[in-house]
Structure 1
Amino acid sequence: MIVFRMKQIAEKFLGCKVDKAVITVPAYFSDYQRQATKFAGQIAGLEVIRIINEPTAAALAYGLNKDMSGEKNVLVYDLGGGTFDVSILSIGEESVYQVKAATGNIRLGGEDFDNRIVAHLIGDVRKRHGKEVKSPRALRRLKTAAERAKRLLTSANEDIVQVETLCEGIDYYATITRAEFERICSDLLTDTLHYVDQALFDAGMTKKDINDVILVGGSTRIPKIKQMISQFFNGVDLTASVNPDEAIACGAAIQAAIVSGDTSERLKKLLLIDVVPLSLGVETGHGLMFTVLRRNTPIPCSHVRQITTLEDYQDAMNIEVYEGERPLTKDNNLLGAFDLHHIPPAPRGVAKIDVTFEVDVNGILTVSTTDRTTGHFKSVTINNANRLTQQEVCKMIADAEKFREEDEENRVRLEVRNQLETYIYNAKRIMDDNSEEITAEEHYNITDECARELAWLEANPDCMREEYERRMSELLKRWALKLRRVEQTGQIYKRHRNDIGFSDPGH
C-alpha cells in the first residue's frame, strides 16, 4: 500500500507513468525482508530494478558533488523512525564506493524514544492523579503528544504536554525538559555507539581512520546524538552537506539514473560495491552452522564450499539454509530448505557435494548444490517463507551478545563431538576395508567397540566437552597403533596381490 501510494505521488508530480523503481532498505535487512520489499513493489505495479541499503544511498548523495582528493573513509550513522544502521564506506578518487562494514538494529529508532516518553507520562499520571492510562484512545493521544514533544525538544529546552480529557475526565498537563528526555532515553542512545564500535571493528579501522561522519534520518536531529557522535570521534565536525530527511531518496535517485543508463560525466564512472548484511550458511552435523558467505562480503558475489554426507550409504540430503551470526543453527533464522537426491551410496564422508551461495546486486540469495560424482545439480532462490515477528528479531539481536561465551563453548563442544564420531566411523571403515588381512577376532573386537561407542554418543548428545575429549583420548590410546598396523598390513597385502597379477579381489 505504501509503495503504491508513492507510485501515485510520483506519477502525479511527473505527469507520466512510472513503472520502474529503486527501493532502499535498512542495511541490516535480511534476505527474506529484501524479498518481501521486492514483492511489495511488484504487487504495487512496479519493476524493482534495484534494492540498495539506505546508508549506501546516503553516501552516494554525499559524494556526488564532492571533488575527492584521495581515498576517504565515511561513516554513515542512520537513525530513522524505526530502524538504525551504521555503515562504513571507502570512496576512492575514481568514484568507487565500497562498503567496508554494515551493522545495525532493525528495531531501534524514533518510535522507541516516543514509547519511553509515553511510559514516563503514564507514570506521571499515576503519581499525580492515581489513575491508570489503559484505553487505546488515551494511549494514542499520549503517543501523539510524546512525538510532538520529542520534535520540539530538538530546538527547545522544554515543552508542555497537553492532553485534554485524557482519561476519566482528567485534563493532563506536564512539562518535559530536554534533560529529562535524554535521561529516560539514555540507554537507547548509548546503545547506538556499540554498533558504531562494531562497524569499526568489522571494517578493521579505528576512529582516526574515519574522515567524515554523515548523520541520516530524522532522529539524528536530536542534539544529544550529535553531541555523543562528535565526542566519540574526538570532536570531529559532523557533515551538514546532506539533508538527513532527503539524503537516502537522493542516493536512490542517483542509483536509478545509473542503472537506467544515464551517461552524464558525474555518473558514468561511479561504481557501487555493497556487502552482505548477515552471514549465510547451511546446517552440518548436530546443528552446527557451516558458514558459506560471511557478513560484510562485497556483493554481487558467489562462494562455493564443500559438504559431505553424515550417514553411511546416504542417497539424499536435506539442505537447510540459515542466516545469522551464532554458531548453532537453532539460534539463527531458517531461510528455506530443499532436497538433493541421487547421491551415489558410499560410506559417510566420501561423497563430495559443492554448495554455491550467490547473492545478486539486490542482496537476494540463490543456493545451488552439485554432486561432484554424478554432476546432479539443484538450485533454488530462497523465498520469503519464514518471517520473524518483531519480538523474535529483538530477541535474536539481544541473545547474540548475551550468549556469546556460551555459544562459543557450545560450538567447540559440538566440534569435539563430531571429531570423536568421525574417528569412530573411520576406525570401523578401516577394519571393514581390511577384514581379509586380519583375524575375525580382531575385526569383531574393534567393530563391536565402535558400535558401543556410537550407541553411547547417540544416548549422550549433551555431554560436556571435557567428557568427549576424555573418550577421544582413551580411544586413541587403545586403537591408534592397532589401526595403523591394520592399514599397513592391508597396503602390503594389496601391493602383493597386484604384483602377482590378481588385481580383482574376486580371484
Structure 2
Amino acid sequence: MILHQIDAVNNHSSHSRAVDFGKLLCEGFTPAIGIDLGIRDSCVGICWHQDKVEIIKNERGYRTTSSIVAFTPIECLTADSAIDQAKTNPANTVDEVQRLIGRRFNDPEVQNLINRCYFKVIKGKYGLPKVVVEYKRKQKEYYAEEISSMHLVHLKKLAESHIGTTVKDAVITVPPYFNDSQRQATKVAAHLAGLDVLQIIDKPVAAAIAYGLHMKTSDVNVLVFDLDYVTFEVSLITTDEKGKLTVKATGGDTFFGGFDLVEIVVDHFVKEFNRIHQMEMDITGNLKARYRLRDGILIAIEDLISDSETTISIDCLYNGIDFSTSITRDKFEYMSKSFFSKCIETLASFLRDAKINKTGVDDIVLVGGWTKLPKLQHLLQEFFNVNELFKSINSTEVVAHGAAIHAANLIREKSEKEKTLPTLSLPDVVPLSLGVDAHDGVFSVIIPRNTPIPSEKEQIYFTTFDNQTSIPFNVYQGERSRAKDNKWLGEFEVAVSPAPKGKSKITVAFSVDANGTLNCKVKELTTGLKKEFIINHDKEKLSHDVIKKMVKDAEKYKMEDQEYIKIMHVRNVLKEYIYNVRRKMKKIGSTNKTRLHAEEIERMETAIEAANEYVDGNQELADVDEYKKVQNQLEKLCVSVIAQLV
C-alpha cells in the first residue's frame, strides 16, 4: 500500500522522545484520540501536550491502518491481517464500507460500489444496504455501521495498547460531503465500538487545525487538496478573526484517486511484457498476476518520490515468466500525464464553481499520500504561482493530527467545566422513555428518558379515520422508534365522539411519581370526559444491565429506526393524499362528474384503489422511494382530472 512503510520513517509530526503516559495519567491526563476514518486507510493520533501529537502505530509498525474487515471460517480479521487474505477470500473481505454508511441501497454511490466490489450487498430492512458474508461457516448479514464499528474497535485497541489505559473519547473525521445521515451513522458505529464521540468534524477542517490555521486572526482562504488511493477531494475553507473554520465549498471526484494512476502504469507494463515475450498476457482474467504487478508498481512509485530511478522485479508473473524492468521518474511522469492533467483540470473546475479566482487562495494544504508525488506538487505550485505548500506534516497523517489536537482541546474544556460545576445529588430519573403506539406503529414518546421524577407530560392525539368511536393505546418503555421493538407495559382504550378523521382529539398525560408508578390521565376534548389508568410496570422492573442493553440496542439500530420513521412519514403522507382525493371526489358530486368522461372517472378511481391497496398490502413496509413513486403517479393522474372541474 503506497506510502505505508515510508510513513513510519519520515514523519514531521512524530517525536523521538517516548511519552510517559503512565506519568501523565497519574497527573490527571484524560486521553482523547483523533481518528481519521478513511474510506481505504485510517489513522489515529493523540495530543498529549498542547500541540504535541503522536501518531499511533499499528501492530506492524505502520502509522496508517487499512479500513478493511474480513471474515473467515475461524475469525473476523481487521486491517493488515484482512489484507493478507484478500486475494484468496475476496467475497468475504469488505473494504470501502464508508461508501455504504448512512446511505440507502438504491443510492447511486452504493450501486457504483456494488458493481465493482467482490463482496455481496443486498437490500435490507427499510431499503438500507446490508453486507452478506460467510463467517464461521454461516451466512451473516451486517449493516455498514456494524462493519465500521469492527474497524473502530481495532483502532481503539491500538490506542489503548499504546497509552496503557481505556480510551473512551474521540473526535472522528469524515469527508466534507457527508450528509447528516452519514454523520449520524458514523456516530452509531463509534458507539457500537465503545467510543464517545466528542465531535464529528470535516477532514479538511482537521487538516487546517493541524497547521494552526484556526489560530489566525484574519480572514484567510485555505484550499485543501486531498488525493488518496480511491478519492480526490478539494475543499475551500475560510477562517475569520475569531479563528472559526468554515467549509465554503467542496468538489472533486469520489471515484478517482491513486488507483487510477496505478492502472495506467499497469496497462503500460502489460503491453511491455507482451512486447518483450511476444505473447498476449490476459491480465484481466488473472487476478493474482494483476495484484502482484500492481503491488510491484506501488513500491516503485514510493521509490520514485525520493529517487530518480527504480526497478520493478516480479518472479513468475505470468505463465512462469519473470518480469523485471527499470523505470525513471521522468518516464513515470510522462506515462501518467493524463492523470496529472485530470487533477489540475478538476481543481480549476472546482474554483470556477466556487466562484473564486486562484489568486484569492491564500494557503494550500496537502492531504493524502498521493500528494507526495513531486510532479503533482510542482503542478500545484505552478498553477497557483506560489513557492510554498503546506506539506511539512505527513500528508497521510495530517487529518488525524488535527483531529487529535481538537480532541485534546474539547476534553480540556469538558474537564474545566466539570471542575466549575457544583456537586449535586442527582434526583431519580426515568431510566427509559415512556410512550404509546397510537395507530401507525411508531413509538410516540410522552416522557423522555432521563426526565427527573416526579414528572408529568402530555401529548395530543387525533382520530385516524372517519366516524372513529374509540382510540386504542399500547404503552411501551424503551428507546426504539418502532413501538413493538420496545418493552410493552400495558394498554387502554378511550371512547371518542364520532366525527370526520382528525376532528376528535384527546390528551394523554403520563405522570411518574416518586415511587416510579406510571399514571395515565386521558381527556376527550370534545366532551370534556376524563379517564385515569395506572400502568403497573414494577412487576418486571428492569435491571440496570437490561436498561443499558436497551439503550445500546437503540444506538445500534439508530439508522434502521431513522429509516423506519422516514418510511412511516411518506406512507402516512400517501394515505392522507388518498383520503383527501376521495373526499374531493365526493364533494365534486354527480352533477359535476358529468363534465368528465366515464373513462377518466374510472381510471382515477382505479388508481386511488390501487394506491390504497398498495399501502394496506405492504405490511412489511416498502422503502421511501417506492411510496413516493406511487404518490407521484397518483398525483399526476388526479391533478389532471380534478383540474378540469376547477
TM superposition score category, shorter chain reference: 0.5 to 0.7
SS of 2:389's partner is coil
Instruction: Tell me which of 592, 595, 606 is aligned to 1:445.
Output: 595
1:309-366 Cα offsets, whole Å, 9 max, x none, are xxxxxx9899xxxxxxxxxxxxxxxxxxxxxx978569xxxxxxxxxxxxxxxxxxx9
Q: Hey, what's the Cα distance between the residues in 2 that align with 1:343 and 1:241?
A: 66
* 1:451/1:198 CA distance change after superposition, 3 Å: farther
The CA RMSD measured in Å over matched residues stands at: 4.7
Equivalent residue number for residue 142 of structure 1: 293
Supply the AA of the counterpart residue of 2:269. L
Instruction: Tell me which of 120, 123, 140 is aligned to 2:268.
Output: 120
Equivalent residue number for residue 162 of structure 2: 13
Equivalent residue number for residue 245 of structure 1: 396
Structure 1 segment 83-482 matched on structure 2, within 5 A: 83-129=231-277, 130=279, 132=281, 133=283, 135-193=286-344, 195-197=346-348, 199-200=350-351, 203-235=354-386, 237-262=388-413, 381-383=558-560, 433=587, 443-446=593-596, 448=598, 451=601
* 1:236/1:17 CA distance change after superposition, 3 Å: same
Residues 26, 106 of structure 1: 8 Å contact kept: no
Residue correspondences, number = 334
Tell me whether 175-184 or 49-58 shows the greater mean CA deviation: 175-184
* 1:196/1:456 CA distance change after superposition, 3 Å: farther
* 1:38/1:113 CA distance change after superposition, 3 Å: farther
Tell me whether 112-121 or 50-59 shows the greater mean CA deviation: 112-121
Q: Hey, what's the Cα distance between the residues in 2 that align with 1:431 and 1:248?
A: 60
* 1:184/1:475 CA distance change after superposition, 3 Å: farther
1:253-294 Cα offsets, whole Å, 9 max, x none, are 1221232134899xxxxxxxxxxxxxxxxxxxxxxxxxxxxx
* 1:248/1:434 CA distance change after superposition, 3 Å: closer
Residues 432, 443 of structure 1: 8 Å contact kept: no
Give the CA deviation at 1:456: 12
Q: Hey, what's the Cα distance between the residues in 2 that align with 1:138 and 1:57?
A: 39
Give the CA deviation at 1:102: 2.3
1:453-479 Cα offsets, whole Å, 9 max, x none, are 859999xx9xxxxxx9xx98x998xx5
Give the CA deviation at 1:219: 0.4
* 1:317/1:383 CA distance change after superposition, 3 Å: closer
Q: Hey, what's the Cα distance between the residues in 2 that align with 1:19 and 1:76?
A: 30
Equivalent residue number for residue 226 of structure 2: 78
Residues 188, 558 of structure 2: 8 Å contact kept: no
Residues 185, 559 of structure 2: 8 Å contact kept: no
Residues 26, 84 of structure 1: 8 Å contact kept: no
SS of 1:101's partner is strand
* 1:99/1:224 CA distance change after superposition, 3 Å: same
* 1:116/1:33 CA distance change after superposition, 3 Å: farther
Supply the AA of the counterpart residue of 2:167. V
* 1:173/1:32 CA distance change after superposition, 3 Å: farther
SS of 1:50's partner is strand
Equivalent residue number for residue 211 of structure 2: 62
Supply the AA of the counterpart residue of 1:13. H
Q: Hey, what's the Cα distance between the residues in 2 that align with 1:190 and 1:36?
A: 36
Residues 25, 52 of structure 1: 8 Å contact kept: yes
Residues 462, 506 of structure 2: 8 Å contact kept: no
- 1:25 matched to 2:174: yes
Tell me whether 242-251 or 105-114 shows the greater mean CA deviation: 105-114
* 1:375/1:214 CA distance change after superposition, 3 Å: farther
1:8-27 Cα offsets, whole Å, 9 max, x none, are 33233323222222222333
Structure 1 segment 28-67 matched on structure 2, within 5 A: 28-29=177-178, 34=183, 37-64=186-213
* 1:372/1:260 CA distance change after superposition, 3 Å: farther
Residues 208, 214 of structure 2: 8 Å contact kept: no
Give the CA deviation at 1:236: 6.6
* 1:247/1:165 CA distance change after superposition, 3 Å: same
Q: Hey, what's the Cα distance between the residues in 2 that align with 1:21 and 1:456?
A: 56
Structure 2 residues not aligned, in runs of 5+: 1-77, 80-151, 417-438, 443-460, 467-480, 482-500, 508-556, 564-576, 609-628, 630-635
Give the CA deviation at 1:71: 0.4
SS of 2:298's partner is helix
Supply the AA of the counterpart residue of 1:192. C
Tell me whether 125-134 or 35-44 shows the greater mean CA deviation: 35-44
Residues 205, 247 of structure 2: 8 Å contact kept: yes
* 1:317/1:48 CA distance change after superposition, 3 Å: closer
Supply the AA of the counterpart residue of 2:209. L
With the length of structure 1 as denominator, give the TM-score of the two structures: 0.53
* 1:30/1:432 CA distance change after superposition, 3 Å: closer
Residues 314, 324 of structure 2: 8 Å contact kept: yes
* 1:430/1:108 CA distance change after superposition, 3 Å: closer
Residues 214, 244 of structure 2: 8 Å contact kept: no
1:75-106 Cα offsets, whole Å, 9 max, x none, are 10111233222111111121111111223433
Residues 24, 53 of structure 1: 8 Å contact kept: yes
Supply the AA of the counterpart residue of 1:21. A
* 1:29/1:243 CA distance change after superposition, 3 Å: same
* 1:197/1:246 CA distance change after superposition, 3 Å: same
1:295-321 Cα offsets, whole Å, 9 max, x none, are xxxxxxxxxxxxxxxxxxxx9899xxx
Residues 296, 314 of structure 2: 8 Å contact kept: yes
Q: Hey, what's the Cα distance between the residues in 2 that align with 1:317 and 1:444?
A: 41
* 1:446/1:171 CA distance change after superposition, 3 Å: closer
1:424-461 Cα offsets, whole Å, 9 max, x none, are x99x98886475xxxx6554114758537859999xx9
Q: Hey, what's the Cα distance between the residues in 2 that align with 1:244 and 1:226?
A: 12
Q: Hey, what's the Cα distance between the residues in 1 that align with 2:561 and 2:344?
A: 31
Equivalent residue number for residue 401 of structure 1: none
